Amino acid sequence: MRHRVLARHAFIHAAIASIYIGVVGLLFYSGQDVLETRNGPLAVTAYLLLVVLSAAFIGVAVFGKAAMWYLDGRKSDAVSLALYTVGFLSLITAATFVVLL
């Protein structure tokens, strides 16, 4: 039962991360004409800010709850949650590539 709850949490976290990645990808895809015409330091700054924001958001979505559980002493659950989340992200990634084929 405990692993089922951990897997559900992990799937939700992986889904949230995947949705965020999809939204950013859609933003880049639909705005590529506008983004290609922008040059200079502000454009580079905007890209770097998006990278930092994305890394922070994905870090929290994938490892946030696991880190809190680890610090609360639930080390086994934390490691399992992190592994399940990465596993679900791997499955979602593989499924995305299969759809592309």
The yes-or-no verdict on residue 69 having pLDDT over 90 is yes
| Structural domains in the chain (count) | 1
Amino acid at 39: N
Please list, residue by residue across 13-34, b when 16 or more beta carbons sit within 10 angstroms of its beta carbon and e when fewer do: bbebbbeebeebeeeeeeeeee
Summarised one tens digit per residue, pLDDT across range 10-68 is 999 999 999 999 999 888 887 777 666 777 788 788 888 988 999 999 999 999 999 99
Amino acid at 93: T
Summarised one tens digit per residue, pLDDT across range 83-92 is 999 999 999 9
The yes-or-no verdict on residue 1 having pLDDT over 90 is no
Domain that holds residue 79: 2-100
The yes-or-no verdict on residue 6 having pLDDT over 90 is yes
Predicted confidence at residue 29, as pLDDT, reads 83
In this prediction the pTM is 0.85
Distances in Å between the Cα of 70 and the Cα atoms of 63, 73, 82 are 10, 5, 10
Predicted confidence at residue 56, as pLDDT, reads 95
How far is C-alpha 63 from the geometric centre of its chain's CA atoms? Answer: 10
